[in-house]
Amino acid sequence: MTIADKTVLVTGANRGIGQALVADALRRGARRVYAGTRQPLAHPDGRVTPLTLDVTNPAQIQAAAEQVDALDLLINNAGIWLYDDLSDRAMLEEHLAVNFYGTWGVTQAFLPLLTRSKGTIVNNVSLMALAALPLTPAYSASKAAAFSLTQSLRALLAGRGVRVHAVLTGPVDTDMTRSLDIPKASPASVARAIFDGVENGEEDIFPDPMSALLADGWRDGVAKAFERQNAALAQAQPVTA
The reply on whether position 181 binds ligand NAP by CB under 6 A is no
Candidates 10-18, 44-52, 112-120, 221-229; binding stretch for ligand NAP (CB under 6 A): 10-18
The reply on whether position 175 binds ligand NAP by CB under 6 A is yes
Q: Taking CB under 6 A as the rule, which mask of x and - marks residues 78-107 in contact with ligand NAP? A: xxxx----------------x---x-----
The reply on whether position 54 binds ligand NAP by CB under 6 A is yes
* Interface with ligand NAP: number of residues (CB under 6 A): 29
139 belongs to the catalytic site: yes
β-pairing verdict for 73-76 and 48-52: unpaired
Among 6, 7, 10, 16, binds ligand NAP (CB under 6 A): 16
The reply on whether position 124 binds ligand NAP by CB under 6 A is yes
Contacts of 213 by beta carbon, 8 Å cutoff, 6+ apart? none
Q: Which is nearer to ligand NAP, 11 or 107 (CB)?
A: 11
Among 49, 52, 56, 117, binds ligand NAP (CB under 6 A): 56
Q: For the chain, what is the largest distance between any 2 Cα atoms, rounded to a whole number of angstroms?
A: 50
Neighbours of 12 (CB within 10 A): 25
73 bridge partner residues: 8, 120
The reply on whether position 171 binds ligand NAP by CB under 6 A is yes
Binding residues for ligand NAP, rule: CB under 6 A, are: 11-12, 14-18, 38-39, 53-56, 77-81, 98, 102, 124, 126, 169, 171-172, 174-177
